[in-house]
Amino acid sequence: MNKLETSKELVAANREQRKDQTFPQASQDEKDKIVRLFHPDYHAEGYRPIRIGPNKGERTVHEIADLLESKSPLFKEELSLKPAHSTDILIIGGGGAGAAAALAAKEAGADVMIATKLRFGDSNTVMAEGGMQVAAGKDDSPITHFKDTMKGGHFKNDPLLLKTLVEEGPSAAQWLLGLGISFDRDEEGNLKLKSGGGTSRPRLLTCKDYTGLELMRTLKDAVLNEGIRILEFSPAVELLSDGRGACTGAVLKNLDAHQWIVVQAKTVILATGGSGRLHIQGFPTSNHFGATADGLPLACRMGASLTMADTFQYHPTGVAFPEQMAGILVTEAIRGAGAQLVNRSGARFVYELETRDFVAASIIKECAEGRGVETPSGKKGVWLDFPMVNLKNGPDYLDHHFPNMIRQFSRFQMDVRKEPILIYPTLHYQNGGVKINVDGESEIKNLFVAGEASGGIHGRNRLMGNSLLDIIVYGRRAGKAASARAKMAEPGNLTLEHLDRFNQELEKASIHPGKTSPILFPDYVRKEEVTKKSA
Amino acid sequence: MVHTTIAGKPCEVPEGLNAIQAMWYCGIDLTHGIGCLGGVCGACTLTYQLHGSPVKTALGCQTQVVDGMSFNLFAADVKRAVPYKTSLDPKKAMDIPLLKNHFNETLSATRRCVACGACTAVCPQEIDVMQGVKEAINSDFKKVSGLFLNCVMCGLCATVCEAHVLPHLVGLYSRKVTSFYLTPKTAWLEERVEEIRSGYYEAEMKRLLNYSESDWAREFAAGPVWRSTGRKSDQNL
């Protein structure tokens, strides 16, 4: 029997014993200490100061700094800026934030167009499992939601942005129910609420463990029925400005025809999502294939500043084994339902419902200090003891509440009803992003940002379920505000003047980037000639 | 190493890759037929075959490549939204007979189902699709809603349907009407929305907006006050 199997038996052997064991929560001092020592956000070698642009001198990870210090792909193009399309609002990104923005903008009477890199809806939103935080419980309130989120974000959240987020939570849920979303409900029709890490009350609206899928299906259906124009396989590679500092459109790349598409827009909403596929500090990721932080270099080249672009969420429980699923998320709700984290010898080492940054740091510590389990390929992880959930809640609980988890693992011959899963933190969410105001507008006039691409709402650590709320509340706010702005504006001149300024800055800082940004896709293709004939 | 054939080209790949990883290993760069990589977006539908066995369908990111497997990307390009001819009136209560009429008008091809079972056979999510179509014809939208919980809207079912039924949209339609018309309203939520709109929490929120980091630390250390909702009944905590 290999080491992995031996350890798995230890976990099974003491499961009954662990069932009613309580594990103490750590003191704030203890938490701060472990997070500083083991959380990747505090790993100095991973960071460097940004050398140019609105955030010059601030630190961020090398992977993001590289994007911000790269040239535009249009830097040597002789490009006609004659628009192929003209619209009131151009929304860049086809996930939840983009879809919510499109619906709000359309409702406000604007002409809307969505441009997206993959297909409309293929996004991080669709992958969300655990739920959406809304203070809907009887013993809950926006005040409690506000406090929990502040605490989770280490009190660095922009309080005004957060106030709006929590206050508009219940009406956002109402809006989604109006579109026909199926949240889990009780017999009386009220919302069933689940707990998550850092929530002092049950506050998660769920659709089993398919919450994001249900949300995206519903939004997609609504957007397509509104007849909103959608350009798929057309990511943005550069924004356009009027030469006086306002945003007036974007240049897209048609991935099929390999041509540039110039879009003139009175307002632009960046809803480009996160950055997991940059594999910051070498971490695996739970993100979709196109999560390459495209919005950040675009906004910065226009002159919009970022906020807290140095902090990322490493979700504690990404799959470490089997390899085919490496990085894939195991929802936090599984810990909410009683699953425990245990080390090589079957011992618990952290209270499972602490905030994500502390739990992730604790797992990294456990592995760094030799108490982790090694996978066949030499990676490390600790056990997430799935079967405990059924032991605590009854034999069918996993089947009823986590069908997605059971299905995904069964495809690789693992039965989570019977065996624990090896996990390790996975790069999950970009806590910071482009700085916005409560209308979702960046520091650049007529450039709005919504969803994961924006920053400030979640402080330095996002709580579970606040991101799905963020995309709805701020997607809609951006859509509404952009629509109001478009009504007052005429289509602007289309120039790339901001690139001249940006290139001069590069020159002055003696930066000679070999690469361009956005990168659009990660590069996983093996480089050697490999397809040798077997016959 | 395992032997596989990708779009007709024989390749050798390490054991333990999924179909998408195998394509990367074999030098294939993908921008289409790839999406979330987590089994929920439905972009990476493919057909595969094992040593002359019948052709099967699956999601590429969820398919382990084994020795002797051949596969091809197979993008289903079908309608992704329910073609509502007349939208449902959110203000009106809709019962089953009214919904039945609306459903028949909206997804009229559904009744042409010949019960061949192709949709069920092709579903990568193991949904009993045909059963769902049948239940929808019988207007049991609640049951259909449950059956289609894990539908990723890949559209393979509609692609193979000879009667031009759009089963994935039958599922979506049923989920929407079940939640909207066939479930009691969320009373608490309505109350909370009203409470917030009335400005009930404004004063407390204003106080919190002015907090410094040390104020927060102090409040947190104070324990029970932390759990206060800001409602009057909680003031004495």
**Which residue of B64, B176, B192 is in closest CB contact with A135?**
B192
Report the C-alpha gap between A215 and A176 in whole angstroms: 8
Question: Rounded to the nearest 10 degrees, how much is the dihedral formed by the CA atoms of B33, B36, B40, B43?
Answer: -10
Smallest Cα distance from B114 to chain A, Å: 27
In this prediction, residues A82-103 reach a mean pLDDT of 98
Domains of chain B plus CATH, in order, are: 2-73 (3.10.20.740), 96-181 (no CATH)
Exposed (0-12), middle (13-18) or buried (19+): which is A244, by Cβ within 10 Å? exposed
CB contact under 8 Å between B184 and A329, yes or no, is: no
Backbone angles phi, psi at A368, to 5 degrees: -65, -30
Question: How many degrees, rounded to 5, is the angle at CA A109 between CA A107 and CA A115?
Answer: 80
3-class state of residue A317 by DSSP: strand
Cα separation, A95 vs A167, whole angstroms: 23
Shortest CA gap A313–chain B (Å): 18
Q: Show the tokens assigned to B69.
A: 């497997």
- Which chain B positions have a beta carbon within 8 Å of A180's beta carbon? 175-177, 179-180
DSSP category for residue A348? B
Instruction: Using the CB atoms, write b or e for A74-97: b if 16+ within 10 Å.
Output: beeeeeeeebebebbbbbbbbbbb
Least confident of A59-63, A413-417, B49-53, B103-107: B49-53
Long-range contacts of A42-48 (CB under 8 A, 24+ apart): A43/A281, A46/A280, A46/A281, A47/A310
Give the relative orientation of helices A211-225 and A466-488 as an angle to the nearest 10 degrees.
20
Q: What is the CA radius of gyration of chain A?
A: 23
CA distance A329 to chain B (A): 8
Out of B39, B43, B149, the one facing A208 most closely (by C-beta) is: B149
Work out whether strand A85-92 and strand A373-374 pair parallel, antiparallel, or are unpaired.
unpaired
Question: CB of A151 within 8 Å of any CB in chain B?
Answer: yes
* Nearest CA among A524, A487, A516 for reference residue A77: A516
Confidence (pLDDT) at B38: 94
Report the pLDDT value the prediction gives residue A534, as an integer from 0 to 100.
39
d(CA B31, CA B28): 10
Is pLDDT at A515 greater than 60 in this prediction?
A: yes
Q: How far is residue A531's CA from residue B9's CA, in Å, rounded to a whole number?
A: 8
Nearest alpha-carbon partner for B129 in B150, B109, B112: B150
Measure CA of the first residue to CA of the last residue in chain A; give whole Å: 37
- Contact list, A160 vs chain B (CB under 8 Å): 209
Q: State the angle between helix axes of A142-152 and A159-167 in degrees (0 to 180), rounded to the nearest 10.
A: 140
The alpha-carbon gap from A299 to the nearest alpha carbon of chain B, in Å, equals 24
Chain A residues 440-499 with CB within 8 Å of chain B? none
Q: Tell me how far CA of residue A237 lies from CA of A33, A72, A262, A294, A518, in angstroms.
A: 41, 7, 10, 8, 6
* Number of helices and strands in chain A (H, E): 17, 20
Nearest Cα to Cα of residue A121 among A102, A101, A90, A99: A99
A335: annotated active-site residue: yes
Structural contact between residues B41 and B62, judged by C-beta atoms closer than 8 angstroms: no
A46 Cα to chain B: minimum distance (Å) = 26
Asked if A224 lies within 8 A of B185 by C-beta distance, the reply is no
Nearest to A3 by CA among A380, A361, A418: A380
Cis peptide before B90 (omega within 30 of 0): no
Q: List the beta strands (DSSP E) in A178-334.
A: 193-194, 204-205, 229-231, 236-241, 247-254, 259-270, 306-307, 312-321
DSSP type of residue A495: B
Tens-digit pLDDT profile for residues A340-387:
999 999 999 999 998 889 999 999 999 999 999 999 888 999 999 999
**Cβ pairs A/B, distance under 8 A:** 230
Instruction: Give the residues of chain B that fall short of pLDDT 70.
Output: 77, 224-227, 233-237
Please enumerate in sequence order all residues whose Cβ is within 8 A of that of A317, keeping only pairs 6 or more positions apart, or say none.
A329, A330, A331, A332, A334, A335, A341, A384, A423, A425, A426
Cβ within 8 Å of residue A233, ≥6 positions away? A116, A117, A118, A119, A254, A255, A256, B31, B32
Lowest mean pLDDT among A77-81, A181-185, A220-224, B33-37: A77-81
Both tokens of residue A300?
């910065």
Percentage of chain A with pLDDT > 90?
Answer: 90
Chain A CB contacts of B82 below 8 Å: 221, 225
Q: Can you tell me which residue has the tokens 């349907």?
A: B161
How many other C-beta atoms can be found within 10 angstroms of the C-beta atom of residue A395?
9
C-alpha angle A232-A234-A235 in degrees, rounded to nearest 5: 120
Write down the pLDDT at residue A529: 52
Interval A50-64 mean pLDDT? 98
- The pLDDT value recorded for residue B234 is 64
By three-state DSSP, how is residue A270 classified?
A: strand
Residues of chain A positioned with their CB less than 8 A from the CB of B211:
159
d(CA B101, CA B117): 25
Residues of chain A within CATH 3.90.700.10 domain(s) are 3-38+312-427
pLDDT for res B213: 86
* Chain region(s) in chain A for CATH 3.50.50.60: 85-123+207-311+431-497
DSSP percent split of chain A into helix, strand, coil, nearest 5:
35, 20, 45
- Specify the DSSP element, H or E, that contains A90: strand A85-92
* CA-CA-CA-CA dihedral for A489, A491, A492, A496, to nearest 10: 130
Antiparallel, parallel or unpaired: β A132-133 and A193-194: unpaired
What is the Cα Rg of chain B in Å? 26
CATH of A85-123+207-311+431-497, one of 3.40.50.1370, 3.50.50.60, 3.40.190.10, 3.90.870.10: 3.50.50.60
Interface of A with B in 321-340 (CB under 8 A): 322-324, 328-329
Angular region, A85: left φ>0, alpha ψ -120 to 50, beta rest: beta
Contact A225 B186 (CB under 8 A): no
**Which residue reads 């692609």 in tokens?**
B159
**pLDDT above 80 (res A532):** no
CA A463/CA A357 separation, integer angstroms:
10
Spot the catalytic one: A39, A201, A277, A315.
Answer: A315
Q: Give CATH for domain A3-38+312-427.
A: 3.90.700.10
Question: Would you say the C-alpha torsion A371, A372, A376, A379 has a positive or negative sign?
Answer: negative
Subunit contact A144:B40, Cβ cutoff 8 A: no
- Spatial contact of A31 and A245, defined as CB atoms under 8 Å apart: no
Q: Do A533 and B201 touch (CB under 8 A)?
A: no
Q: In angstroms, rounded to a whole number, what is the distance separating the alpha carbons of residues A440 and A161? A: 9
Residue A167 contacts B, CB cutoff 8 Å: yes
Residue entry with tokens 């009683």: A338
Nearest to A531 among B11, B32, B87 (CB): B11
Q: Do B230 and A532 touch (CB under 8 A)?
A: no
Q: What is the pLDDT of residue B51?
A: 86
Residue A8, pLDDT > 70, answer yes
| Number of helical H runs and strand E runs in chain B | 10, 5
Given A123, A141, A526, which is nearest B229 (Cβ)? A141
Lookup: tokens for B22: 């195998």
- The model's pLDDT over A429-446, given as tens digits with 9 standing for 90+, comes to 999 999 999 999 999 999
Q: CA A409 to CA A432: how far, in whole Å?
A: 32
Q: Do B208 and A212 touch (CB under 8 A)?
A: no
For CA atoms A192, A197, A201, A203, the dihedral sign is negative
A79 touching chain B per CB within 8 A: no
A 294-323 residues inside an 8 A Cβ radius of B: 322-323
Cα–Cα distances in Å, from A418 out to A3, A15, A411? 18, 11, 15
**Alpha carbon of A202: minimum distance to chain B alpha carbons (Å):** 13
Interface check A371 vs B, CB under 8 A: no
Is A315 considered catalytic here?
A: yes
The residue among A107, A127, A109 whose CA lies nearest residue A118 is A127
For chain A, what is the mean pLDDT? 95
Strand partners, A91: A114, A269
